[in-house]
Structure 1
Amino acid sequence: MSNNLKAILGPTNTGKTYFAIERMLAHSSGIMCFPLRLLARENYDKITKILGKDKVALITGEEKIIPKKASYFCCTVEAMPTEKKVEFVGIDEVQIAGDSERGYIFTDRILHSRGTKETVFLGAETISSKLKALVPGVKIEGRPRMSNLSYIGRKKVTRLKKRTAVVAFSAADVYTIADIIRKQLGGAAIVMGALSPRTRNSQVEMYENGDVDYLVATDAIGMGLNLQIQHVGFASLRKFDGNSQRNLTNPEIAQIAGRAGRFLSDGTFGVTDYASEMSEQTIDSVENSKFDQISHIYWRNSNLDFSSIGNLVKSLEVMPSEPYLIRKNDAEDFRHLLHLSELKDINQLAKTHNEIKLLWEVSQVPEFNKQLTNDHVILLSKIFEQLILKGRLNNDFISNHIFRIDKVSKDIDTLMQRIASIRTWTYLSHKNNWLEDTINWQETSLTIEDKLSDALNIELTNRFVDKRISVLGKKLKENTQLLIEIKSDSSIYIDSLKVGEINGFVLKLTDTTTPSSDLFLKNLKKGLVDEIKQRVKIFYSIEDERLTINDNAKILWDNFPVGWLSPSDNIFNPNVQVLNSDLLNQDQIHLITQRIKMFVDNKIEKNLSQLIDIKEEDFDNSSRGIIYSLKEGLGTTTIKNIFKAYKEISDNDKKEFSKVGLRFGVRYLYMPDLLKPESVKLRALLWGIMNNTYYNAALPDDGRVAYTPDETAPNDWYNKIGYSKLGDRVMRVDMVERLLALIRVAAREGTFKITEEMLSIAGASKEQMSKVFLDLGFENTDKNKKNEITFETLFKKKQKKILFKKKQKSNKKNNLDHKSKNKNKIHKNNNEKINKNSPFFVLSNLKLKN
């Protein structure tokens, strides 16, 4: 029998796995055990290409493909069909027997799994002494590495050469490093133990195809990834092993570093920015494959007693017979068993040999989603109860758990958690005697896992790969031209990858981060030269209807911004600024500026020419002051502002003012044509440009002559757009004049009342109208101002308050004489100032009733 036992030991890249598979296929049947589901699947795929799918089986905890005529089995160590008799048995990475987590399973396979004709153990040379102790008579054959592995020291992550794998020992560190590489070097593929095989394969394929030149991984990279890696950089030399932070051992460093340089190609390894220094002894050990022998290996009794739960626990606690064997006392399945055994319902259901054996099987359902909760034990208890009481898991129970996981997310960690959760149900779906419709649930769980895996691959790629640099790099490697396609919606594609769009004349990248290589933008801009040239030509000849000015003075071409207006020394002639674009040259900017200028001039001419075209030189000095005030008010000014000049207008100028469309009211001088909606908006816009402030929320809706004010806008601003803020209403100035006309008619007897027509003009309630009256100079005659305002409430013109300077000495008679004289003087002055033809004369002679 000893002649059939062989161990092929040596470092990575010695061809051990290739030799074992070749030996297996030389027999009529065989089992090859791998440490990872990924490796089992990878080698299954290789062998099926040689023999066909009907002769090869795949058995892992979550995947079972077993053709009826299968003679060769690729499986994980845990899922190995130990009862099957085959001619060849191969066990890969047997040095894992020294691992505190999974070592006891490898030890069990080393002790008990044999081929009828040949058994081969593969692994590191560090296990040789323990193999001899476990399997006396085993023939050990050493194999040297096919290529050299050299230490090259410390390198910053951003200075690492292409085809480098950076290794970190936490997801957070992997993400941080990958972010740096994306920003500086274009992107990286991600490999972590928590990734599903499908996601991992997609990421690896991206690296192997040359879409990215860097890979960031956890120590999951240490086994079975035969990639085109030239250098391995350690981001840390410490890891958390499930219990505490510890230094990596030399064999662990070698296992990971050995990924660099495959077959006959030499490789290098080193540390990155923040890792501690690697000792000379470690470097020498890794370069020359010189390591201490494993001092102990893990073991657990496999001869279990199912007569009672207590006896089962005792049989799992049996101590090993050899001092170099360490009993595994905290395995996940053992912890599950202990927790379940504490539940009263479980104890009542698990009495017989078969029931306790079933309880042990249920305890072995893996907790892929490593959460620090009791949820998994609760799930296992429900599974056991249903199996005992109903013989099968209820379909509603299964679907409730499975379909709550079937949700795609944009968050990487959430996706990984859901993949871990569905893996539990993928594992359960392969328990043929536990489910009624195993094939259906296998397909369902696998479909969900694939969907989540694809979503995870997309999110990893979106976050950690600059696809622009990936595409460019590939084209440069292939020495082929970068093909740029511009769609009808202005989207820009490079080899089916949308990289951005042209908004007007501005390039907007889909990925807003700065590309890590200037070559990308340089090549992209070069490919857009003809497109921009054609766009400028079209823009110069377009109709005005295709251009608009938004509320913030931006110029839009078919809704895309192309420029904006800025202040000048003439409010009616704002400056034109073209939106900054690296795609435009100075001649093109000049043409765009000219076209925008023509559009703006046409718009101002159309809406404000009546005001702008008034020529001051055609009027006398007094009238010129009025025109100045009117233009300063953008078409509106108060009579109060121009009262002195108004008195001195010549008859000829009055006629000329009438011809150009001016209207003199009691309160305002205005131009009716400039109160149209388009003119109002343009007036507000020009004021906003000049003052760099826009009160867009305070603008009236088109056609509204009265509305509720926006408190952020100042009173003067409303005047500039042809409106007036009175009380808590805003009214167009021509409506204010109409309201004053109604008041004049109603107040012939001195007092007046609110009418429906007044309310209609102001769009106001009676209470609001009383406030409008107050700002117009009228007050409520009711001494109790708190009374409700009705149609019977009387209003009158407010009395002017006369303020006098206080004298130190005075008597009552002198004071009365003084008031009388001043009153007469005031009336005299007022009579002198007010023109009898003015509407103010009418208001000043209103007879007020007490």
Structure 2
Amino acid sequence: MRAVLGPTNTGKTHLAIERLCGHSSGAIGFPLRLLAREVYDKVRAIKSDGQVALITGEERIEPPGARYFLCTAEAMPRTAGELAFVAVDEVQLAADRERGHIFTDRLLHARGREETMLLGSSTVEPMVRALLPGIEVETRPRFSTLSHAGSCKLSRLPPRSAVVAFSVEQVYAVAEMLRRFRGGSAVVMGALSPETRNRQVELFQSGEVDYIVATDAIGMGLNLDVSHVAFASLSKFDGVRQRRLTPAEMAQIAGRAGRHQQDGTFGTLGGSRNGGALEFADDEVYAIEQHRFAPLTHLFWREAEPRFDSLATLIADLEAKSGIPELAAAPEAIDLAVLRRLVDDPAIAEGVKTSGLVRRFWETCQLPDFRQQGPDLHARFVARLWQDLREGQIGVDFVAARIAELDRTEGDIDTLQGRIAAIRSWAYICQRPDWVLARDEMAARARAAEARLSDALHQRLTERFVNRRTAILMKTVGKDAGMLRVTLDEAGQVMVEDQPIGHLEGFRFVVDAGASHEDRKLMLAAAERHLPQLLALKAQALVREELGELTIEKGQVLREGRAVAQLERGKSASRPRLLLARELAVLDHAQKARLTGALEVWLESSLVPLAPLRALEEGALSPEAGSEVRALLLTLAAGGGSIGREAAGLAHVPKDKRPLLRRLGVTIGALDVFVPALLKPAPRQLLNAIGVDRRPLRERMEPVISLKGPLPAGYRRAGSQAIRVDMAEKLFRAAHDQRARSPGRGFSIDVALATSMGLSPDNFRLLMRDAGFRPGVARQLAEGAFGPPTPVRWSWRPPRKDRSAPQSAPRPAPQGSAFAALADLVR
């Protein structure tokens, strides 16, 4: 027998599952039905459906040949030695006021034939050693680090966070704020059915929402991918009084952060003051981070097998003390409180005389208070139930009618929660072996009703606390806009990931009227990213519908060769003004405005290749540019992206401004200043089409062309040929690299690069001469010598335009002149 103890995220439950599957039979008792169901699914996947059973108060799936049992602690088989392996999870709950005596009994008596394992917190170690001498205790360290992150406002809560509250009202309030500001959250409370909790957990696990709001039930083994746990309160009502959580309880909850090797953080939720000041004390932070807590000094005990001779004997046994110092008498639990109240009613007590009736009456009092109504109201329900059970079994028609009354999915969240709690009571009743006729049929009906109610409750929770539209926008705003799927339907509605965010009125985006203030800001942010492409799609569709295919030529927008609009120079070269042709001026104002809007959006999308030119124009307006750079950029923009170096005024541009020019895509070459992106065919053709650059146009912008007529835009003359300015710069740089490698007298230049471009040798020499390069005289081979010619040695000096002006000596004044006399006086 051994105890495996340690903080959360140490793999204790995983170890128990491995040991269970390694034996011929076994059982594990869990504190929650939800956790039992989770492990049941895992073991069933390993051992097959026919060998695995799930036994809880409300649910019993027990195949005839079952050998492995996953149970709640209350439903565990108590007989020792019948199964090869037995484990009890979270044994520290033996110190719980309400259920502690159950876990204490399992700790003392649940035994496996071959192996017994107790799992829990290290705080229970002294009690385990005292009550079970000779037990082997194994302490496991946490896989990941848990650290304190301080207080955090809800608006800055990191993704994959869990917020823990301790009342339904507080859970709803936090979830509502997360819905408004972060798109929503999953909600997990002990009052929810396991099915609803599973669906809500899946909502978080799948990533549909990044937040989960839960009560302290989250601390009992729910495996979630949580990176941060934020406490909305540090105190709770424990059934007797409002008190601050113990450090061990804090750690049990905070330990949900970080799974396996992933580190986690915990802290408080800033701005909330429910339940006292939200600050961890230094000693609490130390205890949680280092997993050091005060050990338990006692466990709660109650006689698990009382005598049923009479009601008085039963109560006396249930109130008896153990006589063992480590085992304190359990506080009055709900079942004993109900028993006392019903015994005080003579009409009930007088009818419970025999041992069999006493046992049956006690079993009835042990019906869990699923509705959380308290002892008085719950006692009334048990009293009515006892009236039916005292005479025998409850009839099928009566049970079916009660289930049918509850099997209604209309209503709000609280209404559905109440129905689920009530149906759980009937599910428990139908699971008892001798309480209901046609037990299996009624149990199946109760489970089916609970499943339908759970689906409806999940839908209501999602509708109230998850704003799918906001969640989608929160996930995508700030990321690459290309990752966001934005569409425009035929009705003009704008959809983000199939969620409507607004519509287009003409060419104006209008936010969905039903959106909240926070949603409106997010939707506008998403729309701004994609609005140009959406407007372009709509404009293209409208233009095709009304005008057909359009082209831009010679400063006009043409349709089948006829002018639809004129393009005039606007505020800058890249932003021409559009004026409708006279033929369209007869349209009424509304139609003309609609068509003009469509054409303007169409033109804007057509001018996308001129983005580098617009960057120059905008850079010229930047305060960072200064007057010298502004003049250069405006001259370069007016030249369509390339000008000769002599016209650039570089002598006036400070050296510290050169990085700004590079950021704008400007290259300062040996002979030209140019923007490489504007030398491509698309922007050159567009500049020519809108009438900005009327120089001859080359459709393909080849590197080297034969020169016939005026020099085309983007080219430099090279003898009888012309070379594109960026290709010329490539040749100049290659030559300067060769010069740098040969610091002596003369250097060689490889003409192969020029030849590959199509530049003839003679024209190459003329081009290089413009850049200051001079070829030497080739040395002839000696007479009778054979071999390749000696390479030509080149030299370089700055081009004439870059040389300093020569300082010539002043001419002497003619003798006898006034200037000569003045010179003599100066001397």
Q: Distance in 1 between matches of 2:433 and 2:3?
A: 35
Paired position in structure 1 for 2:535: 529
Q: 2:187 is paired with a residue of what secondary structure?
A: strand
Paired position in structure 2 for 1:114: 111
RMSD: 3.1
Change over 3 Å in CA distance of 1:329–1:238 after alignment to 2: closer
Q: 1:392 is paired with a residue of what secondary structure?
A: coil
Q: Distance in 2 between matches of 1:181 and 1:57?
A: 39
Change over 3 Å in CA distance of 1:316–1:373 after alignment to 2: closer
Q: Within 5 A, what are the aligned runs for 1:266-415?
A: 266-273=263-270, 274=272, 275-372=277-374, 374-389=376-391, 391-415=392-416
Change over 3 Å in CA distance of 1:9–1:596 after alignment to 2: same
Q: Within 5 A, what are the aligned runs for 1:631-646?
A: none
Contact 1:334 1:363 in 2 (8 A): yes
Q: Distance in 2 between matches of 1:517 and 1:91?
A: 49
Change over 3 Å in CA distance of 1:416–1:49 after alignment to 2: same
Contact 2:143 2:261 in 1 (8 A): yes
Paired position in structure 2 for 1:517: 522
1:206 maps onto 2:203 in alignment = yes
Deviations 1:703-753 (A, max 9, x none): xxxxxxxxxxxxxxxxxxxxxxxxxxxxxxxxxxxxxxxxxxxxxxxxxxx
Q: Distance in 2 between matches of 1:523 and 1:461?
A: 28
77, 80, 101: which is aligned to 2:73? 77
Q: Distance in 2 between matches of 1:396 and 1:42?
A: 34
Contact 2:303 2:320 in 1 (8 A): yes
Q: Distance in 1 between matches of 2:69 and 2:529?
A: 52
Question: With structure 1 as the length reference, what TM-score do the two structures score?
Answer: 0.60
Q: Distance in 2 between matches of 1:534 and 1:260?
A: 52
Change over 3 Å in CA distance of 1:534–1:437 after alignment to 2: farther
Q: Within 5 A, what are the aligned runs for 1:794-833?
A: none
Deviations 1:346-371 (A, max 9, x none): 22332211111110111111110012
Q: Within 5 A, what are the aligned runs for 1:129-148?
A: 129-148=126-145
Q: Distance in 2 between matches of 1:412 and 1:513?
A: 25
Q: 1:233 is paired with a residue of what secondary structure?
A: strand
250, 253, 267: which is aligned to 1:253? 250
Q: Distance in 2 between matches of 1:464 and 1:128?
A: 42
Whichever residue aligns with residue 363 of structure 1, its letter is: C
Q: Distance in 1 between matches of 2:505 and 2:343?
A: 67
1:38 maps onto 2:34 in alignment = yes
222, 225, 231: which is aligned to 2:228? 231
Whichever residue aligns with residue 453 of structure 1, its letter is: S
Contact 1:210 1:474 in 2 (8 A): no
Deviations 1:488-520 (A, max 9, x none): 777765555566677998553555453273544
Equivalent residue pairs, number: 549
Q: 1:152 is paired with a residue of what secondary structure?
A: strand
Deviations 1:215-234 (A, max 9, x none): 21111111112211111111
Paired position in structure 1 for 2:671: none
1:93 maps onto 2:90 in alignment = yes
Contact 2:183 2:474 in 1 (8 A): no
Q: Distance in 1 between matches of 2:265 and 2:215?
A: 18
Paired position in structure 1 for 2:241: 244
Change over 3 Å in CA distance of 1:527–1:248 after alignment to 2: farther
Contact 1:168 1:235 in 2 (8 A): yes
1:60 maps onto 2:60 in alignment = no
Contact 2:98 2:331 in 1 (8 A): no
Contact 1:185 1:517 in 2 (8 A): no
Paired position in structure 2 for 1:777: none
Cα deviation, residue 47, structure 1: 0.8
Q: Distance in 1 between matches of 2:203 and 2:587?
A: 44
Deviations 1:149-170 (A, max 9, x none): 1112111121121111111111
Q: 2:71 is paired with a residue of what secondary structure?
A: strand
Q: Which moved more, 1:21-30 or 1:492-501?
A: 492-501
Change over 3 Å in CA distance of 1:499–1:58 after alignment to 2: farther
Contact 2:179 2:466 in 1 (8 A): yes
Change over 3 Å in CA distance of 1:512–1:521 after alignment to 2: farther
Q: Distance in 1 between matches of 2:579 and 2:238?
A: 65
Whichever residue aligns with residue 406 of structure 2, its letter is: I
Whichever residue aligns with residue 193 of structure 1, its letter is: G
Q: Which moved more, 1:363-372 or 1:140-149?
A: 363-372
Cα deviation, residue 463, structure 1: 1.7
Q: Distance in 2 between matches of 1:66 and 1:47?
A: 14
Contact 1:502 1:508 in 2 (8 A): no
Whichever residue aligns with residue 316 of structure 1, its letter is: L
Paired position in structure 1 for 2:675: none
Q: Distance in 2 between matches of 1:392 and 1:523?
A: 68
Cα deviation, residue 93, structure 1: 0.5
Whichever residue aligns with residue 377 of structure 1, its letter is: A
Change over 3 Å in CA distance of 1:163–1:377 after alignment to 2: same
Contact 2:306 2:318 in 1 (8 A): yes
Q: 1:220 is paired with a residue of what secondary structure?
A: helix
Deviations 1:189-248 (A, max 9, x none): 111111111111111111111111112111111111221111111111111111111011
Change over 3 Å in CA distance of 1:233–1:439 after alignment to 2: same
Q: Distance in 1 between matches of 2:436 and 2:488?
A: 54
Whichever residue aligns with residue 529 of structure 1, its letter is: L
Change over 3 Å in CA distance of 1:302–1:480 after alignment to 2: farther
Cα deviation, residue 382, structure 1: 2.7
Gaps of 5+ in 1: 542-585, 599-850
Whichever residue aligns with residue 267 of structure 1, its letter is: G
Identity %: 42
Whichever residue aligns with residue 508 of structure 1, its letter is: D
Change over 3 Å in CA distance of 1:429–1:538 after alignment to 2: farther
Cα deviation, residue 394, structure 1: 1.9
Deviations 1:251-294 (A, max 9, x none): 01111111111111111111121343211111111111111111
Q: 1:155 is paired with a residue of what secondary structure?
A: strand
Q: 1:221 is paired with a residue of what secondary structure?
A: helix
Change over 3 Å in CA distance of 1:514–1:527 after alignment to 2: farther
Q: Within 5 A, what are the aligned runs for 1:154-165?
A: 154-165=151-162
Cα deviation, residue 450, structure 1: 1.4
122, 128, 140: which is aligned to 1:125? 122
Contact 1:498 1:510 in 2 (8 A): no
Q: Within 5 A, what are the aligned runs for 1:400-479?
A: 400-472=401-473
Paired position in structure 2 for 1:218: 215
Change over 3 Å in CA distance of 1:19–1:39 after alignment to 2: same
Gaps of 5+ in 2: 548-577, 594-827
Whichever residue aligns with residue 257 of structure 2, its letter is: A
Whichever residue aligns with residue 173 of structure 2, its letter is: T
Whichever residue aligns with residue 284 of structure 1, its letter is: Y
Contact 1:229 1:259 in 2 (8 A): yes
Change over 3 Å in CA distance of 1:534–1:70 after alignment to 2: same
Whichever residue aligns with residue 278 of structure 1, its letter is: F
Change over 3 Å in CA distance of 1:81–1:500 after alignment to 2: farther
